Each structure stands twice: as C-alpha cells, then as structure tokens.
Amino acid sequence: MKKIFNIILVVSIPCMFFSQVVITDKTTPALDNTAVLKLDSDKKGFLLPRIPLTSNMDATTVLNPQNGNIVFNTNATSSLPQTITYFEVDRWNALYTKNLLQPKLDVVNISSVSSTASTTITGFTPGAINLGSGITGWVPLGVTDSKTFTRVNNSFAFTVEGMTQLDASANEYYEYAIGVFVDDVLVVVRKYHKQKEDFTCSWNKFILNGVVNNLSIGNHSIKVMARNISSTSNLATQKIVYAGAATRSDGSTCDNMSSFLAKISLNTTVVESIN
C-alpha cells in the first residue's frame, strides 16, 4: 500500500527567515506556529535512533555528542539501562520508567483488613505459649491477610486492635491471648487481663504491635487468632466474645458494645529494602 506523507515548508522573508516543517500522514496538514518541526499522526509514533551505547560516559559511539542529543540505548550496562537517553555536559542520562526505577528504591506497602463478624470462644486453655508454635489451641478471629515478598531484606510491621467481652457474667476477671501467625507459625503474642468489676457486660480493649524481619521471598499468609486463658469461675461453658457484644447474665444483649465498636482490625506496613 502506498503511503503519502505531506511535508510543508513555509518560508517568510521580509527582514528575517522563518520556516516550519510538518510531517504528517493526514490528508490536510495542520500548521502550528509554536513549533519549528511538527510530527502529526493518529496512528504512528516517532522512532528515535537506536544506538548501542557502551556506558553513560560513551563519547565515541555517537561521536562528540552535544547537549540535548537524544537516542534510544539498545545496550543495557551497569551505568545505563536500555531506554531513552539524553546527553548533558559529559554523560548520557536515562529516562527511567517505573520498572527501571523500582529496583533502585525501597518498596513500601500499607494495607488494612478488619473482622466482619464476631467470634465466640467457649472454655479456657491455660498453659505456656511459645513463639514458633503452631495453631493448636487457637481460634481464628476472621482477620486474615497475605503478603508477597520479592526481596530478601524486608520487614513486616503490624498493629492489631479490637475489643472483647466476657459473656453472661458479673464481677469476674478474665484473661485471654491474641497471637499473629505467619504461615500458621506464631510470631507475636500478648496476654491481656481484665480486672473484675462489680457489673455485668465488662469489656476490654487490646492492642498488639509487632515486627517480623526478613521473611522468605514468596507469598505468606497472615492470621490473627485468640485463646481464652482463665476467668474467676473458669467454667468450661463460659464464653469470651471477640469483636462483638456479649449477653448479660439474664440473657439479654449487652447494650454497651456493638460489632462496629468491637471490630478487630489488622493494619500492616511492609518495607522491602534494596538488596
């Protein structure tokens, strides 16, 4: 197929010389007084010279380059990636794309997930809690996340917060533990103690902060889990409600708590550093 390109040269000579070049594949060229050279097309781009520069200090492949020279470097080196480059003063400078720039910077990702329903745990599981142990004896709270790491040097920081209530009780203390698991391995845990108070619907707020460094490259699952430890009565039928309202000793719902107020949130910050 034959392509017709229109090239217009406009020359005006009263006391000075002015010209404009328009290169276009359109039927009717459109002049633009703000440009000396105009490339006008809806379907074609501008192809820069493709030159294999040997480094950012290469002054021989393009002999004696001048400030403002622009080429597309086809030879990726330690000092100059394969991309559009321009010459300034004594070296070639790359126009970095996101993919080229990202490996040279720390990568930071911030996210948050929350519980969508309450969790009730019945009975108590006393005893030692050891970091590095598994999920036996723990109950998931419906707060999960996943993180993918691409660099060896990384840190995973998090904050977990929420509220609990001891169900159908009055004037009782209670204890529980909140743990964060990575790939079903306990990495951070805290115990919480609520002093007994002489009224029903007693509640307790928990906040858990932690940092895990240098997780292996790849995908990791994150879970927030809990276990009941003890209470004044230690009844096997006694319940602690997480992220929701408990009931009074007469069976009615506690009106000083709601799923919105008590919901559990997991806020995370992942930083992947340059290797």
Domain boundaries in the chain?
A: 1-46, 47-104, 107-272
CA distance linking residue 65 with residue 88, whole number of Å? 9
The token duo for 11 is: 């020359």
Entry pTM = 0.73
- The CATH fold assigned to 107-272 is Jelly Rolls (2.60.120)
**Quick one: pLDDT at residue 6?**
52
Whether 176 and 226 have beta carbons less than 8 Å apart is answered as yes
212 burial via Cβ count (<10 Å: 0-12, 13-18, 19+): middle
- From CA 212, how far away is CA 210, in angstroms rounded? 7
Least confident window among 11-15, 85-89, 114-118, 172-176: 11-15
Residue 101: strand, helix, or coil? helix
Distance (Å, whole) CA 275 – CA 273: 6
Taking the C-alpha atoms of residue 26 and residue 3, their distance in angstroms, rounded to an integer, is 10
pLDDT of residue 18: 52
Which residue has tokens 């400030």? 67
Contact 171, 198 (CB under 8 A): yes
Cα angle 232, 238, 244 (rounded to 5 degrees) comes to 105
Mean pLDDT of the 140-150 span: 97
82/94 Cα distance (integer angstroms): 8
Query: What token pair was written down for 148?
Result: 């993918």
Please report which confidence band the pLDDT of residue 11 belongs to, taking 50, 70 and 90 as the band edges. Answer: very low
Report pLDDT digits (tens) over 167-220: 988 889 999 999 999 999 999 999 999 998 877 888 999 999 999 999 999 999
pLDDT in tens, 223-257: 999 999 999 999 999 999 999 999 987 889 999 99
* pLDDT, tens digit (0-9, with 9 covering 90-100), for 18-31: 577 888 888 888 88
Smallest Cα–Cα separation from 166: which of 115, 264, 265, 233?
A: 233
CA 107 remoteness from chain centre: 8
